[in-house]
Structures are given as C-alpha cells and as structure tokens.
Structure 1
Amino acid sequence: MESNQYYIRVSAACPLTNIADIDFNLKNIKICIDKAINNKSKAIVFPELCITSYTCGELFNQNLLIEKSIEGIKSICDYSINKDILISVGAPLTYNSSLYNCAFVIFNGKVLGIVPKSYLPNYTEFYEKRWFSEGIGIINKKINLPFQENIPFGTNLIFKSGIFKFAFEICEDLWVTIPPSSYLSLMGANIICNLSASNEIVSKADYRRSLISSQSARCMSSYIYASSGVYESSTDLVFSGHLLISENGSILKENNRFQRENEVIDHIIDVDKLNNERLRNISFRDNIKATPFESLEIDFKFSNNNIENDNFNRFVSKHPFVPSNESEREDRCKEIFNIQTSALAKRLTHTGIKKAVIGISGGLDSTLALLIASKTFDMLDIPRKNITTITMPGFGTTDRTYNNAVNLCKNLGTDLREINIVDACLQHFKDISHDAKIHDVTYENVQARERTQILMDIANKEGGLVIGTGDLSELALGWCTYNGDHMSMYSVNSSIPKTLVRYLVNYVASTQVSKKVTDILMDILDTPVSPELLPKDKEGKIAQKTEDIVGPYELHDFFLYYFIRQGSNPDKIIQLAKVAFKDCYTSETIEKWFKYFVKRFFSQQFKRSAMPDGPKVGTISLSPRGDFRMPSDASFNLWKSYLD
C-alpha cells in the first residue's frame, strides 16, 4: 500500500533558547530538525519568535537583532536543503516601515511563504502592540529578502503537497472569537500549525488543551501547537514549552511541560479521514460561503512520506465501536441503554401497546433485547409478566442455550412459553417437497421463518409488539433470514454491532442484576455465536458456529466502521486492520475476510432496504430511512477490481 496517500507524521518542537542569542537558538533549532527527521516526520512546528526568542522586549527595536534574525532564516533555509521536511519557525520581519511577528515556512532551501500574526495581545501581561503591527488584512503580498525575492506574504497562505494542506496562525490568533484557522480550514487547509508563546498560570494549560482540541474538532482538521519553553525570560512570566498534536477533537500527543532539554514530539495524522469527515458534513460545506477572502495555495512536494506498519504510531483500536477506557465504556453503555429504552418506550406509548413478544434463544442478541425490554417495562411501570418470552427449540438447539434462555426468563420474571418447532418444520418440508436430510439454506430458513411466524401471530393474538433481536453486524453481512429473523415490529438492536453487544450484556451482568442472573449472562457471553439451525454434534454441542462460516465478527465490525464511517479505500482498511490485529490474524486471513465482507455487504442490501424501525445509537446506522441509502442492485465490481 502507498501509505503516503493517507497519513503524514508531524512534529512539534521546543528548542533551548537564549534571549536575543540567535546563533545559540539556531544551533538548537537545527538539533530539533534532525530529531524530527530521524523520527521520519515530514513537518515540524517551532514556537513563536524562536529565532530571536519571544521575550526580547525593547530589543525588538534594535536593527541588529532584526538583521541577524533574517540571516538566521537564511541559515535554516540552507540547512533544509535535501531534508524533505516542512519547517516553520518564528521571527520578526520588517515590511512597509512596520515590524511583524511572523511564521516563516521553509522547504528544501526556500522560504515558501511568510504568515504575519493577525491578532496581537495587548492586555494584562502582554504588550505586543508596543513593537509589532497586526497582520489582519494582509493578503497576496510579496516580500523580498536579501537571499530570495517574491516570497508570498499574507494571512491567506495554504501550503500544499498532495492531499496535505498546511496553514499557519500564531498564538493569540487561536484565542480570538473567530481564529484565522477557521477560515483557512474552510478554504481547504487540513493541518493547522500554531507557533506560540503562551505563558503559564494556574489552570491555563487545561484551557489551552481544550481550546486546541475544540478548534481541531470545529475545523475538522489536525492542529499542531508549539509554545516557547522555560528558557524564555522569567522576569515576570514563565513559559512551559507546551507541545500538542490534535486531530478532529482528540489530543493525539502531548509532552510533559517544563522540560529543560530540546524536545520534539511526533504523531501520525490521518488526513484522508479528515477530508472524508468534511465531505459528509453538509454544514461544513455550507459554511465555506462565509469565508471573507480566497486562499493562495503554494505548492511543494514531499519526495517520500515513508510511513509503513513498522513505524506506524497511531493507536488503532481492534473494536472501534467500543471505548477503550473502562470508565468511559461504562458511561457509554449506560447512555446506549438509555437510548434503546427511551426508543422502545416511545413506540409502546405511541401505539398504546402494553405487551411485548420476544423470541429467546439463549444467545447474545436476544439476551440484550430482553434486557432492554425489561428495563423499559420497569421504567413505564408495566409488569414484566407482560413481556412474553418464547423459546422455540429446533433441530440444532443445545441444552446449554435452552437452559440459559429458560433460566434467564424465569429470573427476570417474564411470561415464559416454550413452543417446539420441529414438527411444524417437518410438516413444512413435506409440504414443499424438501428432504429433511438435506441441510441446505432451505432447511435453515424454514426454521427461522417458522419462529418469526409464531412470534408475529402470538403478538397479533395478544395485542403485543414483536421486538427484533438482530444486530448491526448481522445486517451488514446480511446474516439473517429474509422475512425470518430479519423481520420484527421494532428492532432495538439494529444499530448495535456484535462487539458492542458483548460489552452491553457484560455491563448489565457487572452492574445491574442479581448474582444468579449474572452467572447466566456470563455463560451466555461464553457461548459460541450460532443460529443453531443445523443439528447438534454427537456430544450435543453447537455444531454450527457463525464465525467459522462468515469470519470473526470483530474483523467485520472493524471493516464496517472504516468502510461506512470514513469511506476508506480497501487498501487503507486492510492496512489498519493489520496494525490493529497484528497479534491475532495473519495478513492473508484479514484480506480473505475483507473480500468476503465487501461481497456480502453489497449483495445483501435488499434486506436492509426492508428492515424494520429501530433507534440509531452510534455514528453508524444502516437504516434506509436515515443514514444509509444504497440501491439493492449496486455493483461491487469496483471494489472487487481494486482488491484483485
């Protein structure tokens, strides 16, 4: 795979500083550049005015300092030749008899452009207007330096290499009501860099962190932030060298502040993900109309992005639908239960129905649906006896699942009924001239449809609502019998993937039920996933294991997340899966099941086109009325050719 289609490794740096000692500062800036290159970074952001140091005060009025600072920029340019890294350093610049606080953007021996600071703080401890002029309104200008002419100068510059589009703002620019990065993002920039000198007072770091993560979320961008360090003047202020790399609302990397050595942090940014987020967000597109000026794109080209699996430092969760943090997971499970129960409660109160009918198999999905129904009935002060739970043993039902189903219903206090479907299925085989010894799809689907018929008819007879038990993973793969377990009157699990079903059941088992029910739930969690439509093995155990047939659900949930949520290309999904599951599955296994996923996802759309109502819980829903509208006869040849 061409990793550089999607990702870029970026760095934020805080070099050692000596106030007004340009040679010393240059030496340490170059050390940081080398560190970033050794870490395979393609862009590095330094603090505000790092060439001179930020706290020079009245020395900014000294011609010698300004002249030597520009010579320092030339030194960085010379140092950057053939280094294939985008460098942004802070330095003062004289233009039209005014001094500007600027970001100099350098690549392979040249200054690509210069961005002046738009907003100058001049309150409490800040006095920048004493020395500098504001850059607001400066666009499409040109600057001549002693070593280079016609350098773009302005606040509207975007620096582009392929899909990677960098834009720059300086410190206070981020703290204003509408930061320049908001407009620059609307104009296409997906990596915002901030050269900063933000002093520390109690709790300011928390606010700064929140500001950066929020701005990256609002702009659907990455945000690289580098602030001045402890060697700035401490006459009145202390600086901590705060370094942060954020992406779309998440802090990917952060340093420990107050370090006393040259420091560089790096992380990989997924720019393809950011661009896809923008494509699907109509409000972002609409907001583009509000930009007050046009950007000026400056092209340059990285020679090789050089990111492969062995140096891929992004965390890739095996289970993207499940929070990795345990405390967050519990909060999320509680919220999901509230969404599901509220949805079911609305359907019951709207219809005036006070009874529910659920088919209970002793498996995960029907267990979760029953737990949701029980909690909903409690919330509505309806007796649990109004929940009719029906277990329907068939040719493949094992003692383990049967006993778990029966015991769970008894302990939850539902109206438990047992209807054996064997005789009815045998009669149906006879009616349609099917040999019961042939265990094909007809053999399996007859059982699924017989069970659904029973549920629907009892619901009609008693004025109840058939609650569907199928989950999002089964819908994605079409692993359900059309007009069998595929159908219900309301489907509470329709946007819950299988990996999340496990955590939800485990959450209930751990926090909300008696020891006896907990034991039953834990055994259900330990039972292999199976529709139990084929006969038991010789030992009376489950012979038909779903994941042996369709592949591991954790892989399919992973594929589903990146295929739908991010619209990712197959090569990217496979690469991410190989990173996430490197200790679990071989490359061949991952590729095999991804091909299977794509084929089934397209061929089974007709089932999703006719799926019953059910609540959207997470960011992905396959409801044809809500999130996902795809023709049932869409071809997957494009994806097949790509994979082949």
Structure 2
Amino acid sequence: MNLIKVAAGVVNQTPLAWESNKQNIIGCIEEAKNQDISILCLPELCITGYGCEDMFYANGTCETAIDMLEDIVDHTAGIMVAVGLPIRINNRVYNAACLIANKQIRGFACKKTLANNGIHYETRWFQPWPENERTELAIGEFSYPVGDLVFEADGIKIGFEICEDAWIANRPGRALYLQGVDIILNPTASHFAFFKTQTRERLVQDGSRAFGVAYIYANLLGNEAGRAIFDGDAMIAQAGEMLVSGTRFSYKDFYLTPAVIDIEKLRLEQTQNRLTFSSSNKKVSFLFDFPAIKPVRNIYALEHWEAKGFQKEEEMARAIALALFDYLRKSKSSGWVISLSGGADSSAITALCFLAIELGVAELGIDGFKQKLSHIKKIQDCTSVAELSKALITNIYQGTENSSDDTRYSASSLAESLNTTYYDININGLVETYKGLIQEAIGRQLAWETDDLALQNIQARVRAPSAWLLANINNALLLATSNRSEAAVGYATMDGDTAGSISPIAGIDKHFLRHWLRWLENTGLDGQLKVAGLHAMNNLQPTAELRPLASKQVDEEDLMPYDLLNAIETAAFRDKKSPKDCLILMELEFDNIYSKDKLVQSIERFFRLWSRNQWKRERYAPSFHVDDRNLDPRSWLRFPILSGGFEKELAEMHDYVNNVKTRSRRRRIGF
C-alpha cells in the first residue's frame, strides 16, 4: 500500500454542547467515508470543546466524553479516525487523542506539552503526559493502551504531536522519527492571531521534512467559547512539501481537507535524512535550514500592512465577522444592536456585522444561512443580504447639542448603504434632566470650566439605556464599541461606550482600525466586497463630540497621536519596557515626526493613565482575541488595580532627559 488518501477534518464546536459536537464529528466522518478517506485527523478536544474551563474538573465531563466517543466509534467502519477528548486516569485529567480504526478503539495518545501562556491555561486542568510512560484505560469490559504511543496498521506507523507539542524545541516528532513513524497526526486547538498561519505552515512543513513523514494538521473552527477565535487551519505536508492547505474562517459546521500521501516516498526520505540523535549531551543536526536573521525597522508603530498583501486587513474582516456570527447563533440571540455615533469604532462594528451576513450567505447560500440561524423567526422570509441586514442589524444615533451634522450624516449614510434598521433620537433632554437633578442636589450649577469630565461622561452614559432597551426588545446582542487604544488609557466611559455583552474590537488598536476602515471602503475583501458607505466617516477626524462644538474636540489632542499611543503600549506592556526605555525606542521610531518634549509628555501621560484605569479593563465586556497585544486581564495581560503608578520609573525617565540636556548644553558652551 504505497498511496493513502488522508484528510484533516475541521469542526465548529461549542463547549459541553454534547449532541451538536457529536453530530459535527459524525458528519465529518461520514463525509470522509464518502470521499474514500483512509485516515482522518480531527481537532484537539473536539468532543467536549476546547474551552470548557473549570468544567474539565467535573467527573461528568470526562465520563460524558467517553459516552460520546463510544457513539462515534460506531460510525468508523472502514476508516481510521483520530478524535480529541479529555480522559481521567488515577484522578488526573489528560488531554488525549483517541485513535479509532474500523469501529475499534486502538488507544489514547496523550499530550506531553501543555500550553500555559497568554490565553491558554491548560496546566490548570490537565497533567502533561510523561515521556515513554504507558498505562491502560478501562471502558466497559475492555482496557485500552494510553500514553506515549505509536500505532501500527498494515505496516504503517502513526504517531501524534498534539498542538503545543509541535511548538517546542524538543518536539515529540524527534522521538517518533527514531521509531520509524510514517505519519504524524496533529489534532490542535490553536487560537487565531494575525499572521499566525505562516508560523503553523513552517511547523507543519519543517516537521514533515525533518522527520521524513506525512504531517496532518487539523484545527478547530469559529468562535467556540466567547473570546478565542479558531480559524480552521488544516494542512497536510509530505517530506517537506505542503500538499494542501484548507479553507479558513468557514461558516460550515465541518469540512475536509484531503490529500494523497506516498508511503514509499516518505520512507526513502527517512533513509536519506541526516537527522541524528543520541544522548542529550551530543549534537543534534537537522536537514532543514534556518532563515537568516534580518534587521527590523519600525517595530513599534509604523507597520507596513500593505507589504503583506493586505493579509492583516483580510484576517481581521474574516475572523471578527465569523466570531460575531458564531456568537449570535450560539447565544441564541436575534440580532445585533450598535450605538452608531458616526465615528470609526461603531462604524467598524456595524460593517463587521454586515460582513458576517455577506460572507455567511456567500458560502452557505441564503437558505443555508437562515438554517444556521433557524431560531430567528423574523429572518426566515428574507430573500436577500439587504433584507437580512435590515432584520439583524439595528443602529441608533443618539445626538445631543454637542453632536455635529457631520457625524449624523456619517452614521445615516453608512446605515443606508448597508440597509440596517436605523433610528435617530435626541437625548439632550435626558442629559439636561440628569444635570438638573444633580444641580438641585448639590446646590450649584454645573459648568464646563469646573465639571468638564463629569459633563462629558453623563452624555456617554445616557446613551446606554436606550441601546440596552432596543437590545432587550429585540432579544439582540448589544455590542460595545471601545477599542484597544482606548482601553489602554481608559479613554472610555464605563456604562457608556463600554456597555455591551461582547466587545468585538477591544483587541484592535485605533491606529490600525482607521487604516482598516479606509481599506474596506477602497479595496475591500478580495478586492470586491467594499463598503462605500464608510466614505463620510473616513473623512472625519476622530472625536468624542462630548464638549461644546465650539471647542472642536479631537481625540488625538485629548490623548496623543494614535500611532504613538499604540507604539508606547506595545513597548511598555507587550515588551515590558520602562518609561526611559520607551523614550529611547520612541526617539528611534518617530525621529523627525514628533518632538522630544511631545514624546516625554505622551509617555508620562500613557503610564499614568494606564495605572489609574486598570479597573476599567477589568470591567470590559469579553473581547475577541486577535493577537499578542490583548489587554484583557482575564485572558492575557494582568495588572494590579491599585499600584504605585510608575512614579519611580517616570522620575528616572525625567532624570535621563535632564542629563541628556545637561550634556548637550555643556558641549555647546565648551566644557
């Protein structure tokens, strides 16, 4: 048997949704059988869902997973299938992949390396499996091998690297190579992040080349549990050649990525391979080459997105649109409500909701789209994307005396172009009512000279009840409109623009968001799917419009330029640089763009605002995770609510600046 047809199977699962998860798996297996697939790899923990959190502690989770597994086994006649689930042995829980062949469980390979950084917390629930250890698991009348296993069928050897196993230097594939394995299966639950697919491609392709194997990689799909997005990456490589890479960001429940592998070619590759191992004290050599290290410019702010062929823009559009769609259907909600101010944030979210409809209908067809949202009765008679948009997306513009005609037109023109349900109400009377109540209580008039922040915030907060009311009336999701740059410095009103059940762009910085909106208007997905209704908004300067119009309020004047804010945040909290080191980096980054005084002022302002606003980040609605700059303290970046506020570190920055000025002055006068 030289040629074997194999496949990576991608499924869109939900934690603890037992029946739908099982049906997706069975559907994928049946489709594989229809396509004469011999070996099918399904994702990590796909029976339970990856994001079960502390429910992995519950005995019932592992027990029910085994029950589901036994049901799945009945559908594996004539095919070999790897399926992921948690198993409990000696009161310890392990992340396992079960290999089933022709309606018989062959054993359970267990994950050796647990992901425990950023969004991942696997060591909280699972134990890493020790190398070379094996035991048995009893299921009913039979016991099955468990642990560090290599399987053999018709002379073909199969081994596993489970997700994080492949991301470490001493990956299990090395040991599998020494055992003459022909095929490595990688069932994975690897969360989406910008440009991450290229890293996965290298892991798969280089692993297949270094170990002389066929490598099958299958990822989860969709917004599984609320925060993480899975892109459904599926890849099959053979001896260093990428045979196939599957569709990403699909709206289907499951799909296959098949390929034909050549066992003789693989074994010839292993025979010729120069990969060598002995004891840990001796040199290990690899066949593949490492890329040369190149100098990097502009690593903190001036990102050249276009150089990557608009990949980041497309990934943002597809990832967040799919996440919004999945969140809508899995929460059994009936639509989205967005308080549309006419600014960048709410316009972006409205456009993303529209893209969720466009992309879903494009892939599933309008009937398939409506079937996926069968719980929403009001859309079942819709016959077009425009009608679906009217039924699913509700916008409300809430103006005050400080709102301009420009933002009103920006909001209405976008809503009209996307055919959303649009309301325009004036909340000035509500603002005045609240002001009057407090003025009477405290015995004085509120004025901009003395109460600036309070008068701004009451306008933002008054908008929330109306938006919540619409959401409740429609059984819809209220989407919070704050972005990551605002979260970093607390430039957001709690219970105002932060109000909502999910915060779709809280992981996106404002600098990139503005660029993305211009791209969506002028270039669009695949160069075709554009949103012309963004034109008016893209020609506005970002403003909160909470002060009197005569003040000409501008966000970047209230804070700092968004490109600079993003660069400082990245240096300070992704890379953990001190204020002084941030200044040195910003001087290199923004040479001839901003003055040194501007940089010092902005860095000090950033660190002070960051420190006093952690409580806001703790209260943000859950956000979608899109890269390693996430500020969500519940899944990525933790910081104390009360802290010293970087007083010492900021003083060191000012000392550094003063010393530089003193040295410069001495040079000028001849010391």
Return the TM-score normalized by structure 1. 0.50
Bigger Cα Rg:
1
